[in-house]
Chain A
Amino acid sequence: MNYQFDWSVLWTGQSGQWLLQGVITTLEISVLAWLLAGALGILSGALRTLPFPPLRVLAAFYVEFFRNVPLLVWMFFWYFAVPPLLPTPLQDWLFNHGAEFWAGMFALGVYHGARFSEVIRSGIQSISKTQFEAALSTGLTTAQAYRFVIIPIALRLIIPPITNESLNLLKNSSVALTISVAELTFQTRQIETYTAKAFEALTAGTVIYLALCLSIAFVMAQVERRFAIPGLIARVARPEH
């Protein structure tokens, strides 16, 4: 009862092409969702620290609502529940132009935006209040103080946890296969369907995810080294005697 490994299934036939398409789709959906999550995260993270309760409540509602419902449910929500709200011609257009991709992108981006938001909020809150007050005392408005002082510092502080969240986002993109987005995991299953070689296909998928995540971690480590604020991140500023 030995399992016979046959690694050639990964490069014979269309497998290589499918894997490549899968990687491209995974990267496309992840990059777009990451941009959306970043924008939503910065906005709602900043709103949650503002001295205006209504905006704080609004941002808190967004975070708690979107991060506490499973991603799978959001996938179905954006794919099945949103299109019927649109006018029929728009629906038809969407269905012919990758509705599943956009639904998956929104599900992923909005869900991770809520998670990014908490990371960004913790970054902002780790900055001492006096810094904000100092910014205001130079004549900046609250919005300007956030834009030019608080958020730039916060973003540089949160690189490690945001790397973590970004890797999660990339891996979570595989959930989009439930709404028929042909991303990397989908394609590895496709190879399995054609060849019945499950372990080879899954191994290929695993290695590719690992490589993608390691590359992102590497790039983020470079970004971290380049943008770390000496004195604020202890590890970077080595004690000098």
Chain B
Amino acid sequence: MPAYFLKRILAVIPVMGVVAVFVFLLLRLTPGDPAAIIAGDMATPEQLAKIRAALGLNEPLLTQFFSWIGTVLKGDLGTSLISGTPVTTLIGQRLEPTLSLAIMTAILAVVIAVPLGVLAAWKHQSWVDNLVMSMSVLGFSVPVFVIGYVLVQIFALELRWLPVQGYRSWTQGFWPFLQRAILPAFTLASIYVALIARMTRASLLTVLGEDYIRTARAKGLGEIIVLFRHALRNAAVPILTVIGTGFALLISGVVVTESVFNIPGLGRLTVDAILARDYPVIQGLILTTSGVYVLINLVIDLSYSALDPRIRY
């Protein structure tokens, strides 16, 4: 087991390596002068020279890569071309809204989706099942921003229960935070719920056909216990997997949701960075989010053996 753990942890290195190479090459291999791409059409030769120097574009490619990766490994993601602030500082400043939104969304999604999936599998091929699965297909197909605006329209503009947009840190009080975070969280949860509910249902359906479930029912256990304690536990691995891989969807959704609700998080930072062609910031954001994604999936992978003792390595 420790050998597997070690191997699995080391396997993160090539993945992050590929991400780093990709992010690095993206700007360099694009036809045209990278400095000109960053600076835009209005740049003066002095500005171009400054950007070249800042990115080390005058060095050979390999030298550039190793010196860049060296600084990245030291925790330095470069500085913003626009504000001159270190990228890590920028990310740090914007981390809190995104993190609280993501955590709230994940909790919300699991709390909604798992029972729905269980219900759909239990009442298989009934109207409940049909409804859950139809909603799940809708969740995949309706874009996040459309869902966001519909929710704003209903709960903020028509009913006036909640503010239209904005963000308040939970350090300024939990209620103002919740008021502003609840709609974004539901918006963001839409795809995630669709994904998790579908997987819960599919995974549970395979388990529900097994003999030990019949045994459990035959010995008179209540349906709730059969479903949640016996079936769900054995169906947990694919569900957990999809929660991990779905995190990538969550990040994509965060960028959109933060724009809809005007939340000053990492998503907004990304959009601002694209519009300003602030390449070091985009680079840093991709590296950070991919790193978090890989880390979450690592933890999930490692937790399989805890969830399902049959999995041994």
To the question of whether A and B form a pair in one complex, the answer is: no
